[in-house]
Amino acid sequence: MDISQDLRIRLGLDGVTYRANLSKTELFHAAIASDRGRTREGGGDDDQKAFPTALGEDGPLVYYTDPTCTGRPVQDTFGVAWPELEEKVWWKADFQKYDPEQYEGLLARVVAHLNGRGATLFVEDVYCGTDPSYAVPYRFVGEYATHALFAHNMFPKGIEGVEDEDGKRWVMLNAPSFRCDPDRDGSRSERVVILDFRNRIVLVAGRADYSGVVKKSMFTVMNYMLPEMGNMSMHCSANVGQRGDGAILFGLSGTGKTTLSADPARKLIGDDEHAWTELGVSNLEDGCYAKLIDLDKQAEPIIAAALSMPGTIIENVPPLPGRPMGETDPADLDLTDRSITENTRFSYPLTCNPDVAEGAKGPHPETIVLLTADAFGVLPPVSVLDSREVMYHFIQGFTAKLAGTEVGITEPKAAFSSCFGAPFMSHQPSVYARLLAEKMEAHETRCILLNTGWGGGPYGVGSRISIGDTRALLDAALSGELHAQGAEYDIHPVFNLKMPRACTGVDPAILNPRNTWEDKEAYDTQAVALREMFRVNFEEKGFGALGIEPVM
Whether residues 503 and 371 share a domain: the answer is: yes
Q: Which of these is catalytic: 152, 191, 200, 216?
A: 216
- H/E/C letters for each residue in 495-527? CCCEEECCECCECHHHCCHHHHCCCHHHHHHHH
Q: Which of these is catalytic: 10, 235, 267, 492?
A: 235
SS3 445: coil
Q: Are 226 and 131 in contact (CB under 8 A)?
A: no
- Catalytic residue flag (residue 258): yes
Q: Report how far residue 163's alpha carbon sits from residue 136's, in angstroms, rounded to the nearest whole number.
A: 10
Q: Parallel, antiparallel, or unpaired: how do β-strands 413-416 and 398-401 relate?
A: antiparallel
Domain-embedded: residue 347: no
Whether residues 254 and 139 share a domain: the answer is: no
Whether residues 112 and 168 share a domain: the answer is: yes
The CATH number for 117's domain is: 3.40.449.10
Give the domain range for residue 252.
Answer: 232-277+364-546
Q: Report how far residue 168's alpha carbon sits from residue 135's, in angstroms, rounded to the nearest whole number.
A: 9
Please give the backbone phi and psi of residue 125, each rounded to the nearest 5 degrees, phi first: -100, 115
The domain total for the chain is: 2
N residues, the chain: 552
pLDDT in tens, 300-344: 888 889 999 999 999 999 999 999 999 999 999 999 999 999 999
Domain-embedded: residue 11: yes
- Catalytic residue flag (residue 235): yes
Whether residues 271 and 128 share a domain: the answer is: no
Last residue of a domain, one of 195, 228, 261: 228
Q: Which residues, listed in sequence order, are joined to residue 122 by a DSSP beta bridge?
A: 19, 142
- Catalytic residue flag (residue 216): yes
Whether residues 250 and 215 share a domain: the answer is: no
**Selection from 476, 254, 538, 522 nearest residue 378 by Cα:** 522
User: Cα angle at 318 between 313 and 319, to 5 degrees?
Assistant: 95
- Catalytic residue flag (residue 97): no
SS3 529: helix
Q: What pLDDT, on the 0 to 100 scale, is given for residue 402?
A: 65
Over the chain, what is the mean pLDDT? Answer: 94
pLDDT in tens, 388-444: 999 999 999 999 976 444 444 457 789 999 999 999 999 999 999 999 999 999 999
| 127 Cβ neighbours under 8 A, 6+ residues apart | 135, 136, 137, 138, 155, 156, 157, 159, 162
* Residues of the chain predicted below pLDDT 70: 402-410
Whether residues 206 and 161 share a domain: the answer is: yes
Q: Which of these is catalytic: 253, 387, 466, 479?
A: 253
pLDDT in tens, 492-509: 999 999 999 999 999 999
Whether residues 149 and 251 share a domain: the answer is: no
Domain-embedded: residue 325: no
Whether residues 487 and 470 share a domain: the answer is: yes
Q: Which of these is catalytic: 49, 215, 257, 498?
A: 257
Whether residues 139 and 244 share a domain: the answer is: no
Whether residues 368 and 258 share a domain: the answer is: yes
Whether residues 177 and 249 share a domain: the answer is: no
Domain-embedded: residue 238: yes
**Selection from 237, 252, 218 nearest residue 418 by Cα:** 252
Helix, strand counts (H, E) of the chain: 13, 28
Q: What pLDDT, on the 0 to 100 scale, is given for residue 410?
A: 52
- Catalytic residue flag (residue 88): no
Q: Report how far residue 283's alpha carbon sits from residue 358's, in angstroms, rounded to the nearest whole number.
A: 11
The CATH number for 511's domain is: 3.90.228.20
- Catalytic residue flag (residue 257): yes
Q: Which of these is catalytic: 131, 209, 272, 337?
A: 272
Please give the backbone phi and psi of residue 461, each rounded to the nearest 5 degrees, phi first: -120, -55
Domain-embedded: residue 312: no
Whether residues 156 and 76 share a domain: the answer is: yes
